Amino acid sequence: MKKAFAFLSTVVLTASLLVHPTSGKAATTFSDVSMYKEEIGYLTDQKIINGYPDGTFKPDQPIKRLQAVQMILREMGISDTNAPNPNFKDVKPGDYGYGDIATAVDLGIISGKQDGTFEPWGTLTRAQMAKILVNAYKLRGIYPYDFKDITPDSWAFEYISPLAANNITTGYGDGTFRPNLPLSRAHFSVFMARLLNSDFKPENEMLADSLLEGLFDLKIQDTDIHPSEPIIYVLDSIENQVVALNYETYEMTAVPLNLPAERMTYRNGKIYVTLLKGQHSSYWWAKDQQGAVAIIDANQMKVEKQFNIDLDPFDIAADGKGHIFVTSGSGQHTSMHSYDEATGEKLGEMGLYERSYMQMHPSLNRIYTIDTNVSPRDMDVFQFDENGKFISTYDSPYHGDYNLATDLTISPDGKYIFNSIGNIFRATMLKDSDMSYVGKLDKAYKTIAFDLEYGEFYTSNDREYITAYDYTTFKPKYQLETYGKPAHMFYQDNKLLILSTMELEGSGVQYVGLETIEFETE
């Protein structure tokens, strides 16, 4: 069985965490505790926080800065690591807690104050605690809703936001977080219990099933993904560039292009981009057409070569064996060309209608195309040999029998062709059954991703949710809420990666949001 588990990746699971019981029931009780009994009992049972000899917990007493550090290290199972001296003015070697403070600094959990002190017995504010927890447990995520008393330019914003995104805090009923309020022992217990055991997390209707991890000022024209590394490639039409976005580190590397780009594809360490030398026109005939193809080294993110072609380029595909395939964007009844990527030499051509989108079959021996500006819309297949030369072509066995949108996606196992109108067709390479109708989804979609290991695929249709389907029956199974409207989706390493269009609350500015949904399996 597989189910969504939105925030699994946001906490570094330590050995001590793994042996915690899953139940929130507490065996420990205190005479002065009426609120948060289970959270406090949970932490005291785990020996993370202690009561007093008189049987009280003193829930309203402020947590001291040193105490918070010691309790986090205790939970992580980390003792004095003989870390280097952090050189705080008020903490010297031999002082009580010196080793814990030095260890926490060495691990990047704390950094002290601007005046060079740590103030170990000072009270800890709610904002300071947010920073410590985010640093200690590597929390990620952006909370897309505002706390009234926290602005994006506040030093604490980058720590409070992931704390809220992971449902560790919901703030107060009046919409504030109260960052400068001293943190009580009770509220520390609530924070820690929610972080360590999701059973303690409250109901929060504002939270989606996804984790919003980043916001980017991009306008996506086309995308692709590296098959094994955490890299999504984006063709950005704002700056006319190809961007490599690392979805683990959020780092972006851009390659500017010297001509307007139309489409791109990734194959075997290279990114192939069609470049325009004119506007697409049904009356730009073949004898006058021109364009170019750029080949980018995806490891170095540099243009490896660029060559001119005698075609107004539209879509592009590559077989990873040194051959590139390009459809024409002009000339009505025009053609697809194949090229040798090393020399730029044209290897062959086949007729098709202008502005046809294409997708390479996983077998890397044929390409499926779909018309975009004729009616009724149709699909074709083009077979080629190991030298990149076309062998044959034929069109679908129907003509106008089924509605089609201007796209096609081939499932990773190569069995089916999905069209966003919701219709599904076979991809068999047997002329009598190739592109034959299989069935229809319950609704249209804008983007689709597949997890065939667990027999699921996911679609979204410009709404703030994703529908999961059974790959065998094509029946819907469940829905997942998102913050933005998914525009492009990928599935990789048990994680659904979503590039969505969204606006932050009250901003009026549209961003590309990177949202993720991680799954657990049983």
Confidence of residue 8 (pLDDT cuts 50, 70, 90): very low
pLDDT digits (tens, 9 = 90+) for 433-468: 999 999 999 999 999 999 999 999 999 999 999 999
Element (H, E) at 313: strand 313-318
Confidence of residue 12 (pLDDT cuts 50, 70, 90): very low
User: Average model confidence (pLDDT) for the chain?
Assistant: 91
Element (H, E) at 283: none
Residue boundaries of the structural domains of the chain: 8-211, 215-488
Q: What is the separation, in whole angstroms, between the first and last Cα of the chain?
A: 5
Write down the pLDDT at residue 28.
Answer: 64
Element (H, E) at 37: helix 37-45
CA atoms of 219 and 462, how far apart (whole Å): 16
pLDDT digits (tens, 9 = 90+) for 286-318: 999 999 999 999 999 999 999 999 999 999 999
CATH code for the part of the protein at 215-488: 2.130.10.10
pLDDT at position 14 over 60: no
CA distances from 215 to 9, 164, 426 (A): 18, 17, 38
pLDDT > 70: what percent of the chain? 94
pLDDT at position 11 over 60: no
CA atoms of 162 and 402, how far apart (whole Å): 46
Confidence of residue 5 (pLDDT cuts 50, 70, 90): low
Smallest CA-to-CA distance from 164 within 137, 179, 143 is with 143
Only one residue has tokens 């109708």, namely: 437
Choice among 8-12, 48-52, 469-473 with the minimum mean pLDDT: 8-12
Confidence of residue 480 (pLDDT cuts 50, 70, 90): very high
The residue count for the chain: 522
pLDDT > 90: what percent of the chain? 84
CA distances from 120 to 97, 111, 150 (A): 8, 12, 26
Q: What are phi and psi of 423, to 5 degrees?
A: -80, 145
Do residues 299 and 313 lie in contact, with contact meaning Cβ atoms separated by under 8 Å?
no
pLDDT at position 270 over 50: yes
Confidence of residue 9 (pLDDT cuts 50, 70, 90): very low
Write down the pLDDT at residue 24.
Answer: 42
Write down the pLDDT at residue 81.
Answer: 77
